[in-house]
Amino acid sequence: MTRALSTAALAAILACGCCTVESSHDFRGVKVGGNAEPIAVLAIENSGWYFLGCLPILTGNPDRPGHIKLFSDTVTLENNIKMLSAKARQENATEIANLASRVREDLAIGFFIFGRKQVFTSAVIMRPAAAEKGEAADGGK
């Protein structure tokens, strides 16, 4: 029993609060929608462990993806959008498409004492196509 509990505790620590921003750029010229040029598809995930489903214990750090925070409620939709716009700014994107978010609360995973909360956001970040840019420039003249 002790061994089983310690294994579960170790698994919980290993899989604890984490924040990741993953991007993929391999479009090979394929358009996603409209005339804009897709830059990357982003997958943003933030998760954490909560005591009784409400008190944060270990959560992902949205300011430093890949790191954790203690006793801070960072698993929110707002933090995911903040990370998305930071990444979009870094990639010089001006438009987004296919923005979707999902909130998941696994209360039963820790037998209702420790619950896991996850917020997942995905989107395609885009910039105006070269032709559009040219048209805009001509129109301006």
**Containing H/E element for 101?**
strand 95-110
Residues 6+ apart with CB under 8 A from 7: none
User: Alpha helices, DSSP H only, in the chain?
Assistant: 2-14, 77-90, 130-140
Measured from the CB of residue 13, what is the shortest distance to other proteins in angstroms? 16
Measured from the CB of residue 5, what is the shortest distance to other proteins in angstroms? 10
Residue 136 makes contact with other proteins by CB under 8 A: no
Measured from the CB of residue 4, what is the shortest distance to other proteins in angstroms? 9
Residue 30 makes contact with other proteins by CB under 8 A: no
Residue 80 makes contact with other proteins by CB under 8 A: yes
Cβ 107 vs Cβ 118: under 8 Å? no
Locus of tokens 């750090």:
61
* Interacting residue ranges for other proteins, rule: CB under 8 A: 8, 32-34, 36, 52-53, 76-78, 80-82, 84-85, 88-89, 93-105, 107-109, 111-112, 115, 119, 124-126
